[in-house]
Homo-oligomer: A and B are copies of this chain.
């Protein structure tokens, strides 16, 4: 199901086969939390050649409800997306204050923001939801405390996440759906090691690295990643959750990460930030007022082939949503191209050079 095609030092090129196609790794997944990559239609995502996207079991459980998507024939059919779908468990989202969560060993109780009723989300229920959604890759429910919590709380999180992962695996019946667990442990090396070891002992189709990119310094994130990744089995895909800035993607790939997701590239797009090989820039700056070139020279995305900086700047300034859409298309196209180039560099044993050149050029 995962084929490791080539290694260049720690960097890896691979292929993840799912019930809905092949995902070439390294891979960045756009986020479709509410069953839509914000501002884009599924045909636009396909035009960008996105191979996998990620939605969210907990969020879809709240709205429109699992029954709706099940009746639609699953999430692929509901949102008209024929390629691979990951679903995050929602272990991260459920801990937001608005849900008044209480984490117990049994699961997480939370308050529905829609009718104030309290619900219990267990590892078993979370698997059941994802089986009903019919995603290609399900993530186990994890306990993800905020950055800054102490060793005791983090230790509890690791023990609980392992226990929940085991219960999730026992509950998981759909053999066409892959099941990934999530390594926790905050920034504590002993806990990351324990978490990775215990999860690998249970055995999963792939491993997420959770609890990173949630407020810790970037160097700390890379440090944790550097000592965590080697603990995971070489033959299984590794998925760093929540990372999407171009430089962090490339650095994490060099450490051995295969898969990523993040809302940042699309959120940044909606807030005027345009990704390019030379770094990002704010499209609303005055210097672009009469700049009739495309967002990025040489780019072949729909936005660049059809519209100018001056027009998109105008759209953003007057809050026309077409502007947000065009920059979103551009940023996702940029990341797809970046992943393809990274993969080629790995296959041609020149990833270090690629990484250092990219980091140098990509100041933003």
The answer to whether A320 and B34 have CB atoms under 8 Å apart is yes
Interface status of A290 (Cβ within 8 A of chain B):
yes
The answer to whether A39 and B322 have CB atoms under 8 Å apart is yes
The answer to whether B71 and A320 have CB atoms under 8 Å apart is no
Which size class do A's interface residues fall under? 35 or more
Question: Which of A174-182, A213-221, A303-311 lies at the interface with chain B?
Answer: A303-311
Question: Which of A21-29, A40-48, A350-358 lies at the interface with chain B?
Answer: A40-48
The answer to whether A322 and B68 have CB atoms under 8 Å apart is no
The answer to whether A315 and B36 have CB atoms under 8 Å apart is yes
The answer to whether A306 and B43 have CB atoms under 8 Å apart is yes
Question: Which of A72-80, A91-99, A239-247 lies at the interface with chain B?
Answer: A72-80
The answer to whether B64 and A308 have CB atoms under 8 Å apart is no
From the candidates B67, B71, B290, name the one contacting A71 in the complex (CB within 8 A). B290
Alpha-carbon gap, A323 to B313, bound state (A): 24
The answer to whether A317 and B64 have CB atoms under 8 Å apart is yes
Interface status of A172 (Cβ within 8 A of chain B):
no
The answer to whether B39 and A72 have CB atoms under 8 Å apart is no
Interface status of A335 (Cβ within 8 A of chain B):
no
For A289, list chain B residues within 8 Å (CB).
Answer: 64, 68
For A306, list chain B residues within 8 Å (CB).
Answer: 41-43, 80
Alpha-carbon gap, A310 to B68, bound state (A): 8
Residues 39-59 of A contacting B (Cβ, < 8 Å): 39-43
Residue with the greatest number of chain B CB neighbours at <10 A, chosen from A310, A322, A325: A322
Can you name the residue of chain B whose Cβ is closest to the Cβ of A307?
Answer: B80
Residues 314-332 of A contacting B (Cβ, < 8 Å): 314-315, 317-318, 320-326
Interface status of A264 (Cβ within 8 A of chain B):
no
Interface status of A292 (Cβ within 8 A of chain B):
yes
Query: Would you give the shortest CB distance from A69 to chain B, in whole angstroms?
Result: 9
Interface status of A11 (Cβ within 8 A of chain B):
no
Can you name the residue of chain B whose Cβ is closest to the Cβ of A39?
Answer: B321
Interface status of A20 (Cβ within 8 A of chain B):
no
Can you name the residue of chain B whose Cβ is closest to the Cβ of A71?
Answer: B290
Query: Would you give the shortest CB distance from A93 to chain B, in whole angstroms?
Result: 14
Can you name the residue of chain B whose Cβ is closest to the Cβ of A315?
Answer: B36
Interface status of A255 (Cβ within 8 A of chain B):
no
Interface status of A38 (Cβ within 8 A of chain B):
yes
For A346, list chain B residues within 8 Å (CB).
Answer: none
For A39, list chain B residues within 8 Å (CB).
Answer: 321-322
The answer to whether A292 and B64 have CB atoms under 8 Å apart is no
Interface status of A63 (Cβ within 8 A of chain B):
yes
A-B contact pairs, 28 of them (CB 8 A): A34-B315, A34-B320, A35-B311, A35-B314, A35-B315, A36-B322, A38-B321, A39-B322, A41-B306, A41-B325, A41-B326, A42-B306, A63-B317, A63-B318, A64-B289, A64-B310, A67-B290, A68-B289, A68-B310, A71-B290, A72-B292, A72-B308, A72-B311, A78-B308, A79-B311, A321-B321, A321-B324, A321-B325
Given A34-B318, A40-B322, A41-B325, list of 5 further CB < 8 A pairs? A36-B320, A64-B310, A72-B311, A78-B310, A321-B321
